[in-house]
Amino acid sequence: MKTNSYNLSSGALNGINVLDISNFLAGPVSSMFLGDYGAEVIKVEKPDLGDEIRYWGNNKNGVGLMYKLINRNKKSITADLRTKFGVKIIKKLVKNTDIIIENYRKGTLEKWGLGYETLSKINPGLIMIRITGFGQTGPNSHKPGFGTLAEGYAGFANINGYEDRSPLLPGFGLADETSGLMGAFLALTALHERDKKSGIGQVVEFGIYEPLFTLLGPQVVDYDQLGIIQTRNGSRLPFTAPRNTYRTKDNKWVSISGSAQSTFERMCEALNVSHLITDKRFLDNRLRIKNAEVLDDALQEAILKFDQSTLIKIFEEVGAAVAACNNIKEIFEDEHFKSRKNIIAIDDQELGGPLKMQNVVGNFSRTPGKIKHTGPKLGQHNYEILVEMLGFSKKELELHGYKLSPSKGI
């Protein structure tokens, strides 16, 4: 199952082979995280069109920028999985694959002859990650599902926004991204079980709504024990106060949390409203939650006397918790982001220069992750994978519509 020799400089997952046959966001995000730490990721895309995420979001000179981010550190090949030849390619790749990631509707892979029962006979150690809208079981399992649906179905939209307005969806692919992170975690969990215990692979499946549902806080236990249904309440939380965003004198914004008693007291002292500390409505966290609206009004009035930079400085001096509400321009200019190297520039041939993107998350002392390259051109690694690795001939590939270029690309 392992075909690569271990190399500390290549990342903690060097030697792990991942086959990503998924599309759009959740599945590709899973393989992105694995690739960030050295896993060899081969991404299979539709001939001619590729993954539709190539056409999502903004583009520069026709090149999709979102694709470049989500599919960094991957090799791109093309194959039509609906054809016998496409199935043949996958079956050959599976022989040396540790993890395969897919997000087709229930039964699709089985219809194509690529179900786990078939693939595990080729490679008993194969781990298959199956990400669908609603999972492989249950009355909704046959339905198509996307992150937007999951954000509503899981209960997120219903608690996001304000009570007198409609439920609010997030401004980015929250359900897909959390599913991507969960997919990577579950893949590594199954890999650990295989390598340390059973020696065989397994199927790991979940619905896109499920990671988000799990992360939505104490809603289940609160409803089960107290019958409480959480409502939309802006930026406030039902279990801590104060917690909100506040406008400063220079028309900027800060986010503030004062749930710990000592933090709340330091905050009040910094804002010259020490009388709030002894106010009977705000003596502890539970009372502050009960009177959160009144407390927010008092804090907002005090905060409007300071510009953002001054407010942050005095909060830091007394040890109170505060942070600027940054837009992306401010993040690019922020010294802490720079010192942590949270944004990194990677050369990209298609764009003709460096492309800045979010860096790998996590600083490993011995086996750090690394972005080796941005998302590849469609089929950029066809020759390397199909000819050099799998042994297909030029004649056979051309018979199935592949075109060899002088640069060994197909």
Q: Which two tokens stand for residue 226?
A: 């107290």
Altogether, the residues listed in the chain come to a count of 410
Three-class HEC string of 9-69 = HHCCCCCCEEEECCCCCHHHHHHHHHHHCCCEEEEEECCCCCCHHHHCCCEECCEEHHHHH
Task: Name the β-bridge partners of 23.
Answer: none
Bond prior to 218 in cis (omega within 30° of 0) = no
Residue 123 CA to residue 97 CA, distance in Å, equals 8
Cα dist from 221 to 146, 216, 233, 288, whole Å: 27, 11, 19, 22
Residue type present at position 113: G
**Residue 48 falls in the annotated catalytic set:** no
User: From CA 369, how far away is CA 35, in angstroms rounded?
Assistant: 8
Residue 290: which of 327, 236, 332, 338 has the closest Cα?
236
Task: Round to whole Å and give the CA distance between 206 and 359.
Answer: 27
Cβ-based neighbour number of residue 88 at 10 Å: 16
Q: What is the DSSP letter of 162?
A: B
Q: Are 24 and 107 in contact (CB under 8 A)?
A: no
Amino acid at the residue 137: T
Q: Which position among 98, 176, 296, 348 bears the catalytic label?
A: 176
SS3 237: strand
What is the set of active-site residues?
176
